[in-house]
Amino acid sequence: MRYNYGQTRGGWRRALVGVIPGGLLHMGYLTRSDFLRLSGLATAGICAQALLSSCSPGTTTPAATTAAEAPGTDGVKMGVSIWSSTDPLGALSVDIIRQAANALGAEVVVVDHAYVPERVTASVETLAAAGCDGIVVCNATNAEMASIIRSCDDNDVYVTQFYRHIREDGQEAGPTGVRALAEASRRYVGAVHGDEAACGVALMQALLEKGGPSGGGARHVGLVGWVEGDVAFQQRLGGLQQALDEWNAAHPDDTATLFDPIYAGLTAGGGARAVESLANAHLDMDALVVAGGGGDPLVGALGWLERAGRVGQVSVVACDFPDDLADRLASGEVLMAAGGDLCDPLFALVLTYQAVTGKLIVSEGDLGRELVVPHVHVSDAEGYAAFEASFLDRPPCSDDEVRGLADLSFEGLRERAEDLVQDRAVAGDN
């Protein structure tokens, strides 16, 4: 999934030619991320060699436009702690954050953590040490948030979660749990996340009703996760199980089974190995849920099914949108994809910016602000084309609209998020 803004239509690529001196067009197609880095660095007069460096786990990426260069700047530096800034979803999320930060005149520093617990917490410490005023973080588990909140409190840095939130069950709800830390914190802003359980319900319903080799419904469902214990995965799993239980209760003579998950990590190779393990362990598997991981595990899983001659025998649903999803849907390789509307990182950045600049007051005694956004479901090439036009070919908001968001109250932001998602979901959902 790319935030391409005219990669196939040429708009952003053509704009680049007049901005950067020659010698870089051999890089092939230029994503929006490439454009932002190129244009920002060209404005600053930095040599083009810096463009060739990539962000690996535990490393930082400089801002596309620094605060000193942006109009109306107030010197705000924002940090981004993310699993990857290079896989399809991660790169897109960083692009969204950079565009919004640039509109607000803020500098951005990015650290990848690969969902390794030690790296997740270390990434926040690194960003705090780099002088960030606020941080947006996509963590994996609730346990990591305890260390993150303590670090941000100690360093007077605001922090907001995106694609994740603090659950209300188990140890997290106790008097010494992470919820108590969040409520006592004056730096934990809140969370912007999707309804992951609803996403799981939709995926399972699609398989039970339309999956399987005959299209009459799958009954033996494999599951590929990415990191064991991840909050979003657990919630998606809950939704999958809920839909399965409801089906089985209503159809006692036609029950279905969800197999225990295999974890793929964040790579295509991991996805291929996971589906191979499931297929070998469950010879009757007629459906597969690839529940996330940024997009690469799905690519690997589909590749293994193709090599094994199982396309058409195993129905696949997924939570990520690879670049060729339209073709995968048209060919029947993918039955349905349910993904986020991509507003999570944008609104997390805006909330954090508001806290840093004093527009939003963070006080003790509550769990912070929470924005919940729905997912978008696509099940055919036409639906994906509508999704692409609504979400990928243009940013969620223009620069002027981003600046307008920063002036809204929290309730205003909530209403704007709901309106934005609803308007675009109508175009992208089928």
What's 365's domain CATH number? 3.40.50.2300
Determine the pLDDT at residue 271: 97
Residue 27 belongs to some domain of the structure = no
Give the β-pairing of 77-82 and 107-112. Answer: parallel
Question: Which residue, chain included where needed, has tokens 């941000």?
Answer: 152
- Asked, for residue 118, whether it belongs to a domain, the answer is yes
My answer on whether 147 and 225 are in the same domain is no
pLDDT at position 329 over 90? yes
What is the CA angle 300-382-86, rounded to 5?
35
User: How far apart, in whole angstroms, are the C-alpha atoms of residue 35 and residue 5?
Assistant: 10
**Does residue 243 fall inside a structural domain?**
yes
**Are both 190 and 201 inside the same structural domain?**
no
Are 360 and 313 part of one and the same domain? no
Q: Does one domain contain both 307 and 319?
A: yes
Asked if the model's pLDDT at residue 213 lies above 50, the reply is: yes
The DSSP-derived string for 32-95 is HHHHHHHHHHHHHT--GGGGG----TT-EE--SS-TTTSTT----EEEEEES-SSSHHHHHHHH
Residues 281, 176 within the same domain? no
Same domain membership, residue 366 and residue 303: no
CA distance 265 to 226: 4
In a domain, 145, yes or no: yes
Cβ 356 vs Cβ 133: under 8 Å: yes
Is 49 within a domain? no
Q: Is residue 123 part of a domain?
A: yes
CA pair distance 396, 26, nearest whole angstrom = 29
Among 151-165, 261-275, 404-418, the least confident range: 404-418
pLDDT value of residue 385:
86
Q: Is the pLDDT of residue 65 over 90?
A: no
- HSE (side-chain half, CA atoms, 13 Å) at 70: 25
Give the residue numbers spanning the domain of 139: 77-194+342-374+396-426
The answer to which of 209-213, 335-339, 356-360 has the lowest mean pLDDT is 335-339
> What percent of the chain has a predicted confidence (pLDDT) above 90?
55
pLDDT for 423: 56
Looking at the structure, tell me whether residues 335 and 346 fall in a common domain: no
pLDDT at 283: 96
- Is residue 53, in this structure, part of any structural domain at all? no
Q: Residue 345 is encoded by which pair of tokens?
A: 């990182």
> Above pLDDT 70, what percent of the chain?
78
Chain segment 366-414, per-residue pLDDT in tens: 778 998 877 778 899 888 888 787 777 878 889 999 999 999 999 999 8
Say whether both 346 and 332 belong to one domain.
no
- Could you give the CA distance from residue 320 to residue 316 in angstroms, rounded to a whole number? 12
Give yes or no for residue 37 having a pLDDT over 90: no
Are 190 and 317 part of one and the same domain?
A: no
What is the predicted pLDDT for the residue at 38? 32
Residue 389: DSSP 8-state: I
- HSE-CB at 407 with a 13 A cutoff on CA atoms is 6
Q: Is the pLDDT of residue 425 over 70?
A: no
pLDDT for residue 195? 86
- Residues 237 and 252 occupy one common structural domain: yes
**Last residue within a domain, chosen from 320, 339, 358:** 339
pLDDT band at 421 (very low <50, low <70, confident <90, very high): low
Residues 234 and 223 in one domain: yes
Q: Is residue 320 part of a domain?
A: yes
Do 298 and 346 fall within a single domain?
Answer: no
**In the predicted structure, residue 196 carries a pLDDT above the cut 60:** yes
- Which tokens go with 352? 């954090």
Confidence (pLDDT) at 58: 46
Which pLDDT band holds residue 68 (cuts at 50, 70, 90)? Answer: very low
End-to-end CA distance of the chain: 19
CA distance 426 to 390: 9
Looking at residue 150, its pLDDT comes to 95
Region 154-162: mean pLDDT is 97
The count of structural domains within the chain is 2
Find the mean pLDDT for residues 140-159.
94
